[in-house]
Amino acid sequence: MQIAGKVVVVTGGGNGIGQALCEAFAKAGAAKVVVADLDQARAEAVAQSVGGAAFKCDVAKESDIEHVIEETERQYGPIDLFCSNAGIGGGFDPLSENAGGTSDEPFMKSWMIHVMAHVYAARHLIPRYKARGGGYFLNTISAAGLLSQVGSPAYSATKHGAVGFAENLAISHKAHNIRVSILCPQGVDTNMLRGIPKGPQSDDGNLSPEQVAQDALKGVEQETFLILPHPQVLDYMRKKTDNYDRWIGGMAKIQAKLRESFGAKAQ
């Protein structure tokens, strides 16, 4: 898909990767970039900078996503590309005393934002895409959805869920000319990365949001399902599937180092 002349929606577009995506799509000639974010002031600021439009949107609420879709199409025309980008970094516990946690809250909050937001976008756009002969979804996920996230069972589980849904979305609707890409970076220099405890993703070639957005743009233009801004992730994936037990052992060693490091700080 070429972005020039297209209507694009980006959730979580007020900061970080989302803001960089908005800027990249605008530079690529999008007819309209719609910035959707829980922080309306940030959405409006980014929209103003790219000549776009802004909506306040809590992606955990189906009604908010439906509103963004309906109003975008009413005001600016059919959506060509929907970027389900919003995410959170909650549920991190470097000591990982119990992977099951002590409450449902971090799991359910992550589930709604990392999985159901993608489901809601598909639920309300698939009928429209099918009626007009096609469309595109770009879902920002994470390398954690392909590998894992030491220190956050909730992040790991929901990002894996997001990958699984995107795979099925692509399989179910390929015949309808509906394309899907998943953007799976490791560490990206954003407020979210800076707000979580340091882990293996923190010192393995952190990229700028702008670089990740350029990789995403290229991936969409080439209609690539899996977009990996960090090329080393492909090697990690191969090692994981080549010998799952060895990979689990290696990740457990990383977890042990985190426990040692953060345990010492807590004393």
Q: Which residue has the higher pLDDT, 101 or 124?
A: 124
Alpha-carbon torsion (195, 198, 203, 204), positive or negative: negative
- Mean pLDDT computed over 201-227: 91
CB atoms within 10 A of CB 203: 9
Residues 9, 64 contacting (CB under 8 angstroms): no
Beta-bridge partner residues of 227: 183
Is the pLDDT at 236 greater than 50? The verdict is: yes
Residue-level pLDDT at 199: 56
Residue-level pLDDT at 267: 37
Residue-level pLDDT at 266: 42
Name the least confident of 75-84, 115-124, 146-155.
146-155
The residues carrying an active-site annotation are: 155
Residue pointed to by tokens 């970076």: 185
N-terminal to C-terminal alpha carbon distance within the chain: 54
Beta-bridge partner residues of 180: 137
Separation of alpha carbons 26 and 21, rounded Å: 8
CA 7 to chain CA mean position, Å: 19
Average pLDDT along the chain:
93
Eight-state DSSP code of residue 80: S
